[in-house]
């Protein structure tokens, strides 16, 4: 069974921005939430280098995190920022193949506001 369709769907329906990069920092995938955010800013980032979207200090931090991911197969997630205004946390997360080799990483922004929708609301 090819699970790639399921994994793609899992990422696409997530209501947080997910940007996937290869080890050359090329943005190879953006979920729908991320596409919508950057579309509003008139930015098409797919295929571009993530490092070009950051200042020098952020670039240095991204490179350090990727090197940390490479050091140990247990180094897989780093909390990278908190935006108080938007009440969101940012993370870099390692992507590994079946042999635990690092193949890329993704950035994920998680909003922390409590979900006030009713439970099991199917309307």
Residue 41 belongs to domain with CATH number:
3.30.450.20
Mention every residue, 6+ apart, whose C-beta is less than 8 A from residue 3. none
Residue 10 located in a structural domain: no
CB contact at 8 A, 50 and 27: yes
In a domain, residue 5? The reply is no
**Does a structural domain hold residue 3?**
no
122 domain-assigned: no
Domain count, the chain: 1
pLDDT of residue 96: 97
Tokens of 99: 């042999």
Examine residue 66 and state whether it is found in any structural domain, yes or no: yes
Residues whose CB is less than 8 angstroms from the CB of residue 72 and which lie 6 or more positions away in sequence, other chains included:
none
Q: Tell me the per-residue pLDDT of 92-119, one tens digit each, with 9 for 90 and over.
A: 999 999 999 999 999 998 888 877 888 8
Residue 83: inside a domain, yes or no?
Answer: yes
Task: Please indicate, yes or no, if residue 93 is contained in any of the structural domains.
Answer: yes
Question: What's residue 78's pLDDT?
Answer: 96
Quick one: pLDDT at residue 2? 83
CB 79 within 8 A of CB 89: yes
Domain interval for residue 87:
16-111
> Tens digits of per-residue pLDDT, 6-29?
999 999 998 888 999 999 999 999
List the beta bridge partners of residue 89.
82, 110
Put the strands of the sheet holding 27-30 in their side by side order: 27-30, 18-22, 102-111, 88-96, 77-83
């Amino acid at each position: 069974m090819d699970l790639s369709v399921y994994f793609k769907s899992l990422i696409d329906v997530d209501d947080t921005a997910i940007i996937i990069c290869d080890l050359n920092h090329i943005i190879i995938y953006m979920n729908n939430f991320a596409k919508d955010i950057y579309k509003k800013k008139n930015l098409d980032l797919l295929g571009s280098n993530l490092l070009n979207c950051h200042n020098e200090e952020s670039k240095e931090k991204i490179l350090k995190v990727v090197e940390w991911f490479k050091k140990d197969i247990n180094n897989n997630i780093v909390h990278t920022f908190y935006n108080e205004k938007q009440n969101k946390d940012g993370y870099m997360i390692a992507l590994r193949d079946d042999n635990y080799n690092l193949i890329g990483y993704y950035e994920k922004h998680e909003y922390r506001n409590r979900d006030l929708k009713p439970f099991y609301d199917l309307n």
